[in-house]
Homo-oligomer: A and B are copies of this chain.
Amino acid sequence: MVHVSSLPRNDTGIETVVGILRQRFADRCQTGRAIREQHGHTTTWIPNQPPDAVIFAETTEDVADVVRACAAHRVPVIPFGTGTSLEGHVNAPAGGISVDTTRMNRVLAVHPEDLDAVVQPGVTRKALNEHLRATGLFFPIDPGADASLGGMAATRASGTNAVRYGTMRDNVLSLEVVLPSGEVIRTGRRAKKSSAGYDLTRLMVGSEGTLGVITELTLRLYGIPEAMSSARCTFPSVEAACNAVILTIQMGIPVARMELLDAESVGAINGYAGLDLPVAPLLLLEFHGSSAGVAEQAEAFGDIASEVGGTGFTWTTTAEARNKLWQARHDAYWAMLTLRPGAQAIATDVCVPISNLAEAVTRSQARAAELGLLSPVLGHVGDGNFHNTILVDPDDAEERAKCDGFISWLSEMALELDGTITGEHGVGQGKMLSLVKETGGAASVMSAIKRAIDPDGIMNPGKILGAD
């Protein structure tokens, strides 16, 4: 709760703009309480702050019209994809207009020769991959939710494939953006690389809607690998598992996924998915390549794992066995909820250099135990990124406070270990104070950029910046 407060409202401006937008958008302008609350909703512990109206945009021109009306009357604009972000990104602490982009859901072009696709921001990652099914291509970035690609770009999302394919930072070639003035720009072209001026694409990726509304994306695609193999191995300690990770990466084995589940998480998925895994730290891996290549890679990992004390190493290339393993991983969130029925699950997110990963995870486990918090760990460990999922009783204020304290402590620990307060969830409202600690003087450069591009501060106010 600590970091979230309301901001001053421009009630006159808001009233005027809602009137204008009602005229312009008719029943695509919605002001009912339920719809508004749904658009302030985030999958998080942060309280709901609904916008004053929701516009269901269908074109870039729709978005530009909303932004121009809001700019003229200094009213906040909050871009909305699927509302699956985790740090209060779509809340409206100063009220304003939520621009819902879910109807902008067309794949505009697929260029198989260039391995790219042009999409509207409301296309979800699964919808894109469905669309690509016949092409032999895929888009690899997979945050937990079936998020919209516009939202994924805005929050610099990643997921389990990042160790091989990078994050949204690496996979957006170009964006169309409606600036806070209502002007529409393109940040790049379809060429694979460019040295033409400042990297506005990367500036917009991760700006969480505070610099403009993304209305079109050009994304990198990849050929679906000829073969895939999955492997799993149990380790005597988190440290041993992390050592296997380090050696695997150092040897240049091009692992596509490398996920850590701590003993608590393994216990949870055993129960939920009817598995019988040893209740100890577990690595799940996936390899992409040729048939011979994925076999070789899995076996090379097996050698490394046994060197550092891993046991029960198995690997497979059959789709059924692979899917069973990864389904269990994907269901980990639901599995964890069964550990404490009625509890709310709060997903945290920090990322450290891999050499510090074992220490970070182990310290987080010790700290959670000390606080009496149930907090299984999942990690995209190839990147040094891990999540403590804290299971709290939403009605127990004391426990909630402990949980808040634990989250702040995790951020501080990550910084101490040369890491970052967020690997993939973003800052939103939840981590504004920690961001100042992480960035120091660089936060004022961010603020200067914000003021330069959005002088009236209408774009998604109360997110990322403003805590200092």
Contacts and interface: CB of A to CB of B under 8 A. Distances in A.
Given A179-B445, A223-B252, A440 B185 contact: yes
A18 to B, nearest CB: 28
Given A197-B206, A443-B197, A445-B185, A423 B292 contact: no
Interface stretch (A187-195, A312-320, A394-402): A187-195
Given A167-B193, A193-B383, A195-B427, A114 B354 contact: yes
A8 to B, nearest CB: 23
Interface string A428-459: 00010001001111110110111111000000
A114 B353 contact: yes
A148 to B, nearest CB: 16
Contacts of A41: none
B206 A203 contact: no
B355 A420 contact: no
Interface stretch (A19-27, A155-163, A330-338): A155-163
A116 interface: yes
Interface stretch (A54-62, A72-80, A243-251, A362-370): A243-251
Contacts of A450: 198
A193 B414 CA distance: 13
Contacts of A156: 194-195, 199
A12 to B, nearest CB: 28
A251 B227 CA distance: 12
A192 B351 contact: yes
A293 interface: yes
A111 B355 contact: yes
Nearest to A192: B383
Nearest to A222: B252
A10 interface: no
10 contacts: A114-B354, A115-B249, A156-B194, A156-B199, A157-B195, A186-B440, A193-B424, A194-B422, A254-B254, A290-B296
